[in-house]
Amino acid sequence: MKKAEFLGMIKEIIIVIIIVFFVRTFIFENTKVIGPSMEPTLLENDILIINKFEYYFTEPERGEIIVFPYKGDPSKHYIKRIIGLPGETIDIKNGVVFIDGNPLEEDYILEPMQQRGDISFPFVVPDNTYFVMGDNRNNSSDSRYQDVGTIEKSKIIGHATMRIWPLNKFGIVK
């Protein structure tokens, strides 16, 4: 191999590494589901693609599944569903979530909720933050608990958009 060919190959490898770094840092990332808090929607060891780019241009919406760092240990990432938007009043009565006095229709939860958490309800979601909960309400550390709290938009890593593993469940995350 000639020196010029070798240098050309090194240059191409460096360009590919830069492109991969850019995409992984700013656009898409993969993550693995750890724990049962999102069952039945997501199962432990599911691998997801996270859209990190979307929230630069849009606001997160109720029902979207997001990834964010846990306040107690930022090296741990939590995966939860957005339930309450900034300024809304969240209440939980008899295992039902109410938003601004109206019951939230949820066809994705595993079983009736038994735990209200350790915050006081009704709870007003602060500006620029989101109230999140796991779909497996009785086995989820989420915004109902002070150690998680509401999630600032700037702390959201991304929107879980696609499941890539296991292959028999490959597709868009709903």
Residue 103: is its pLDDT beyond 90? yes
Quickly list DSSP for 145-168: STTT--EEGGG--EEEEEEEESGG
User: Which phi and psi (to 5°) does residue 168 adopt?
Assistant: -70, -10
- pLDDT digit string, tens, across residues 44-66: 999 999 999 889 899 999 999 99
Kindly tell me the burial class for residue 106, based on how many C-beta atoms sit within 10 Å of its own C-beta (0-12, 13-18, 19 or more): middle
Average pLDDT, the chain: 90
Span 116-154, pLDDT tens digits: 889 999 999 999 999 999 999 999 999 999 999 999 999
Spot the catalytic one: 37, 52, 140, 143.
37
User: Which residues, including other chains, have CB under 8 Å from residue 149's CB and lie 6 or more apart?
Assistant: 71, 143
Instruction: Give the residue-averaged pLDDT of 10-39.
Output: 80
pLDDT of residue 10: 82
The pLDDT > 90 percentage for the chain reads 63
Residue with tokens 């066809």: 107
Nearest to 89 by CA among 60, 122, 115, 116: 122
pTM of the model: 0.85
pLDDT band at 115 (very low <50, low <70, confident <90, very high): confident
Strand 89-93 with 73-84, pairing: unpaired
CA distance to 5, 6, 13, 16, per residue, from 2 (Å): 5, 6, 17, 21
Q: Is 37 one of the catalytic residues?
A: yes
Residue among 52, 80, 140, 143 flagged as catalytic: 80
Q: What is the mean pLDDT of residues 67-94?
A: 94
CA angle 141, 102, 151 (to 5 degrees): 35
Residues in the chain: 174
Q: How confident is the model at residue 14 (pLDDT cuts 50, 70, 90)?
A: confident
All domains in the chain, ordered by first residue: 3-172 (2.10.109.10)
**Residue 140 bears catalytic tag:** no
